[in-house]
Structure 1
Amino acid sequence: MSTLKLHYFAVRGFGEYIRLLFVDNHINFEDVRYEIGGKEWKEMKPKMIFGHMPYLKGDGLEIVETGAIMRFLGRKFDLNGSTDEEVYFLDMFFEGSRDIRYTFSFQRTEEDYLTKTLPDGLQKLENLFKIHPGEFILGDKISYVDYSLFEELDVYHHWSKGILDNFPALKEFWERIWKRPNLKEYLEKRTADKVPLSATFEGNY
């Protein structure tokens, strides 16, 4: 198998889901990072399938769209559900958690999002998380969606300290992932390096 090559900006963003999955599972990959607005990205953009990233290349495959990449990796590295019910549950959880982030752009103010919309969304995720008792979304087996959920919760924690306090299952999950041996060093380093959360929230680390 050739080394998988992930192309994304030099921010966390949606590409961070994929990086976390690779790092935690000791999957060898090349992390190609582009400066936003830089020359290299302008040259690469026309070569992308839809003109945007994340973009994963390797083994004769070229995959774009965050969800498509994560589902592909879930199937390839046994990080997906083992039954139809588990597969659709993960799919639903993944899309629902991302929708909560997307709703930010439709809010009149940041305060409306952080005090109303986000807590409502987190409560829905809390309820879903409790359906399968255990440490992860499906219970005792980690999945590709656990990485995206962790990243979303970590971003919300940066936006508003204490936002997870009213959602104990999600908070315990977030704290648990932070302590995973394969991720701890990576997470501490990205904090020390002050890697921006996204292009939009460049000042938030």
Structure 2
Amino acid sequence: MPHYKLIYFDVRGRAEAIRQLFKLAKVDFEDSRIDMDTWANVKESTPFGQVPVLEVNGKQIAQTNAILRYIGHEFGLAGSNKLENAQIDALADLLMDAQAADGLKQWPLVILGAIKEDKVAFFKEKVRPQLHHYAGLYEKYLVEHGRPSFILDNVTWVDVLAAEYFTRFAEFGESDALEAFPHIIALIERIHNLPEIKKHIQDRKPTAF
């Protein structure tokens, strides 16, 4: 088995779905968490000057979706054919669009205090409209396909990614943020009650985001 080393900050952020996917696959990995004091030195050693980065026997993979896709294919948490994998990639890319949208992009920085805004007002005015747009697209996909997961009855890496992403709006924003999206709520409950992920969530320490 290769040695896996995941490098990221000591928050959930973009690395949390990767951590959960490793747990679901029952694969050991080194969870290397850096702080801002060491970031400048680490940054120079990364492929694109950003994290997360996954090292596989010392060889680096950058970009969240590329890492998730690699783990998914490596450990049977991907589609069963090229078409299903293309659908998974499209759903993951849509989630990246959401993270890059104004409001959603700044929200983590507002929570962490890097952007000085009233957190409650920012969520209501800037986050909720974009959340309703993108969550609405995911909800529509789940309804139209009539499945408990995005592609198959089995879990794939995009289910883990989406469950982690959307659950933060209720955890760090407003508790009723997802009430208009019952199929997303059901997806979150399904993924987060998988024994390996449930234990990870119970054991992880609280972080700012």
**TM-score greater than 0.5 by the shorter chain:** yes
Map 1:160-199 onto structure 2 (within 5 A). 160-190=174-204, 193-197=205-209
Structure 1 residue identity aligned to 2:63: E
Unaligned runs of 5+ in 2: 108-120
Asked if the contact 1:133/1:139 (under 8 Å) is kept, the reply is no
Asked if the contact 2:79/2:156 (under 8 Å) is kept, the reply is yes
- 1:202 maps to which residue? none
Q: 1:100, 1:77 → 2: CA distance?
A: 27
Map 1:146-161 onto structure 2 (within 5 A). 146-158=159-171, 159-161=173-175
Aligned residues: 193
Identical residues among aligned pairs (%):
27
Map 1:8-157 onto structure 2 (within 5 A). 8-35=8-35, 37-38=36-37, 40-59=38-57, 61-103=59-101, 104-105=104-105, 109-157=122-170
Deviations 1:142-182 (A, max 9, x none): 11111110111111112121111111111111112221111
- Aligned-CA RMSD value: 1.9
Task: Name which of structure 1's ranges 93-102 and 21-30 shifts more when overlaid on structure 2.
Answer: 93-102
Q: CA deviation at 1:28?
A: 0.9
Q: 1:196, 1:102 → 2: CA distance?
A: 20
Task: Name which of structure 1's ranges 170-179 and 131-140 shifts more when overlaid on structure 2.
Answer: 131-140
Q: CA deviation at 1:109?
A: 4.3
Q: CA deviation at 1:60?
A: 5.0
Q: 1:125, 1:133 → 2: CA distance?
A: 12
Unaligned runs of 5+ in 1: 198-205
Q: CA deviation at 1:127?
A: 0.8
